[in-house]
Structure 1
Amino acid sequence: MIRHTANWHDEPTNHAQAGKLPRDAATSIPPAVTGSLSITAATADPALLDLPWHIALEDWPSETLAPLPRGISRHVVRFAMMGGTVIAIKETSEHVARHEYHMLRKLRRLAAPCVEPVAVITGRKDTSGNDLDPVLVTGHLKYSLPYRALFSQKLRRETLTRLIDAQALLLVRLHLTGFYWGDVSLSNTLFRRDAGSFAAYLVDAETGELYPGLSSGQREYDLEIARVNIAGELMDLMEAGLIEDTVDPVATSEDILHSYRGLWAELNDKESFDFSERWRVDERIRRLNELGFDVEEISLKTSADGGQLLIQPKVVDAGHHTRRLLRLTGLDVEEGQARRLLNDLDAYKAKKHPEMDEELAAARWVSNVFDRITGAIPREFHGKLEPAQIVHEVLEHRWYISEARGSNVPMEEAVASYVEAVLRHRRDEARLMLEPDVELGE
């Protein structure tokens, strides 16, 4: 008789005492599990033990899997249901799984855009006692898609440019934390809609390393890896007829160089100007805030004759607009969405409640605008886009139809028009089922 055991190595609370399971997980082991599972997890969720770890990942039964689109990977990757959540599971070696798990945990503590590490599971065996590969388990990033799922018949040049810009911003943010990626590519990234752009998230950190800071050589090498990988990915799409014929894969791949270097220079370069132009200090800070970054301090130096000022900002973190919206409303959204919603909030306050405290006006805006829009969306359409993206698109839609009419369109009419003209025809991005012949719309 084979004894079923599982060792939990939990962080920060260790539930493993003498190799025993948490009490409520002890009866959750599937009857077919053999051997001794070792689970390293940030939070001990007994639901992990309900999954068929005794089966090779590529053979998992369909009723266990979540029908979500997968990107290209050198490993076997599957999405599965765990309780009421979706997780991503990747088979790999134990060393790689543990390295990536701990790297993702460090990046999350640094507030870097990446997927959430859930667990590393080793000691897997099939019913015949044969060893199976260890797995890394990460959380599924809701409303995110691999780049190949963001186009329909062909990837348009405009969409491709937005993806590469998002990839460049992601790389800048990672480099600011001291993270060297080592395998930058569209395939190793997930994208979420962010107002009119995209937000990019790192999804594969197995080649990454964290340093106190990166040299220009390390950053440029990561950038060259990105250029080469993106060129190869675009060539594959071109060969399959999935991007517009006018796109040059090699030239387009170089867009990430220009986007990255321009952003890096804006964030880090010194700037010199006449002492009489002191207003340019505030202008520099505003530009950085518009890019979504906060400035911790400004270094100011005067020239020997007092006629010149030299400034260098110390940028501490991205998410300037996200943090302000979260503080005012409790809404946690992407940076571009936050910028758009804050614009509407500020306009609402100026028009409706100019003398009211900012926090009170924000609470009124949430009730009278944000909740009013999301509450008017039919239930059957709730999974198509995340609420913040829907509100952004409704506000844009209202502006366009008001301009066309030459008068202000009431919000109720704008929402109804948006639902029928736009949202009804969008994909369900909360749970996207893909079949080989399904056409995906942008």
Structure 2
Amino acid sequence: MALQISATNPEHPAVLLELPWQLPLEEWPEKYLVPLPRGISRHVVRYARAGTEVIAVKELAERPALREYELLRDLDRLGIPAVDPLAVVTGRTGLTGEPLEPVLVTRHLGGSMPYRSMFETTLRPATMHRLMDALAVLLVRLHLAGFAWGDCSLSNTLFRRDAGAYAAYLVDAETGELHPRLSTGQREYDLELARVNISGELLDLEASGALHPSVDPIEFGTEICARYHGLWEELTRTSVYPAGKYHYIERRIRRLNDLGFDVAEMQIEHASNGDTVTFVPKVVDAGHHQRQLLRLTGLDAEENQARRLLNDLESWMATQDDYAPGDPSPGSRLRTGRGDVRGARPEVLAHRWVREVFRPTVRAVPPELRGTMDPAEIYHELLEHRWYLSERAQHDIGLDAAVADYVRNVLPKGPQPPRPAKG
């Protein structure tokens, strides 16, 4: 059988052909590989360079490779945080003509880490709680989209820093199934698998001495269930309000916005006696602050990063001379997109903030000191450092001074993550 590459982008096959497909992944020469941390996998996985991109290459049988490729494409269309599928390579043969397993090719998620690499330095319990939060949000988003994971675990997840928290990404969809809607039993089965898998993974870390002594593996495995149920209830519960109290519905929608979700479709029913109104969120989409930041500024960030950048943008807008004083608050301008006719529209001010504040601030951090932090995470770190220095000085020291101190005193002392090898 001839070598075949099924790819999402017409440019990828030509680049992928340069890789040594005639060799098993375990035998690939170092010159093709990128030294990035890998998680535990039942399959052989390698990171390699393909043109200007870093890719993850996983060997597995043809049928599951094609199935996972299609599932990852479905998740991409649904806007679910998961690795990007690039190609499936089939028809591989070795140097002596023996058949080799097909491979699934995905794009490496920049700035991400497998959980075992994060435990190279013992994580504090507070950080563990943030990991559970991120994983619970990912599982809820999958279930809202009708996706049953079938193998939710820390090993099958990648984590990226997200403004003091973490964002979780699905990295292995091999056991997943996509349905129009999941039953309660399907969701609970997925959640029970997550509980057992996470507890087992943490027990393994405990045995190796990599777990903080105050972390109970069984308790943290159970915690994912509590966090999942709390979030699912908030996103899907039915609310009954007194008739005429329509601001209660707006308050519920704002609470969902604060959690990072938009209500894309809702059902509102009046009781037959006219005394009450029933409100049910029918379709809930994640990424409220991401979409808001992207619309205003063109910046693409994680959800918590976007929330933090929007807050800074609001504060900056309030200091501008052409900010309309007739507006009730900067926040209302950003939420509604309506500005007073006497002042600049929010979109105009937002693009000026990107040009005059955000970009110059990020560029002031030398590239060689940024590690795997993306621009939004760098800006968040600088805002945090400004707050810390201002608290210590008992006055606002300004962003320029915070950047200078951060570059001089913080970044050089921090551990630098592994960098991709140059081709």
Please report the TM-score for the alignment, with normalisation by the length of structure 2. 0.91
Match of 1:216 among 174, 184, 200: 184
- What are the superposed Cα offsets for residues 191-214 of structure 1, whole Å, 9 maximum, x if unpaired? 111101100110000111110100
- RMSD over aligned CA atoms reads 1.5
Match of 1:369 among 352, 357, 365: 357
The percentage of counterpart residues that share the same residue type is 54
Q: Whole-Å Cα distance in 2 between the matches of residues 107 and 154 of structure 1?
A: 33
Secondary structure (helix, strand or coil) at the match of 1:369 reads helix
List runs of 5+ in structure 1 lacking aligned partners.
Answer: 1-34, 434-442
Q: Whole-Å Cα distance in 1 between the matches of residues 164 and 287 of structure 2?
A: 17
1:359 maps to 2:336 = no
Change (3 A) 1:430 1:369: farther
Partner of 1:14: none
Partner of 1:36: 2
Q: Whole-Å Cα distance in 1 between the matches of residues 245 and 381 of structure 2?
A: 39
Secondary structure (helix, strand or coil) at the match of 2:318 reads helix
Partner of 2:404: 416
Partner of 2:340: none
Q: What pairs up with 1:31-430 in 2 under 5 angstroms?
A: 36-44=2-10, 45=12, 46-275=14-243, 277-352=245-320, 353-355=322-324, 356-429=344-417
Partner of 1:31: none
Q: Whole-Å Cα distance in 1 between the matches of residues 120 and 60 of structure 2?
A: 32
Structure 2 letter corresponding to 1:40: S
1:276 CA drift (Å): 5.7
Q: Whole-Å Cα distance in 1 between the matches of residues 148 and 269 of structure 2?
A: 32
1:152 CA drift (Å): 3.8
Structure 2 letter corresponding to 1:239: A
Secondary structure (helix, strand or coil) at the match of 1:346 reads helix
Partner of 1:21: none
Secondary structure (helix, strand or coil) at the match of 2:40 reads coil
- What are the superposed Cα offsets for residues 52-71 of structure 1, whole Å, 9 maximum, x if unpaired? 11111011111110010000
Q: Whole-Å Cα distance in 2 between the matches of residues 135 and 427 of structure 1?
A: 33
Number of residues of Structure 1 aligned to a counterpart in Structure 2: 399
- Whether the 8 Å contact between 1:68 and 1:432 is mirrored in structure 2 is yes
Secondary structure (helix, strand or coil) at the match of 1:186 reads coil
Q: Whole-Å Cα distance in 2 between the matches of residues 367 and 423 of structure 1?
A: 24
Please report the TM-score for the alignment, with normalisation by the length of structure 1. 0.87
- Whether the 8 Å contact between 1:143 and 1:430 is mirrored in structure 2 is no
Secondary structure (helix, strand or coil) at the match of 1:79 reads strand
1:429 CA drift (Å): 4.7
Structure 2 letter corresponding to 1:88: A
Q: Whole-Å Cα distance in 1 between the matches of residues 172 and 271 of structure 2?
A: 47
List runs of 5+ in structure 2 lacking aligned partners.
Answer: 325-343
Q: Which is further off, 219-228 or 301-310?
A: 301-310
Structure 2 letter corresponding to 1:245: P
Q: Whole-Å Cα distance in 2 between the matches of residues 428 and 159 of structure 1?
A: 19
Q: Whole-Å Cα distance in 2 between the matches of residues 293 and 187 of structure 1?
A: 26
- Whether the 8 Å contact between 2:60 and 2:102 is mirrored in structure 1 is yes
Q: Whole-Å Cα distance in 2 between the matches of residues 108 and 136 of structure 1?
A: 16
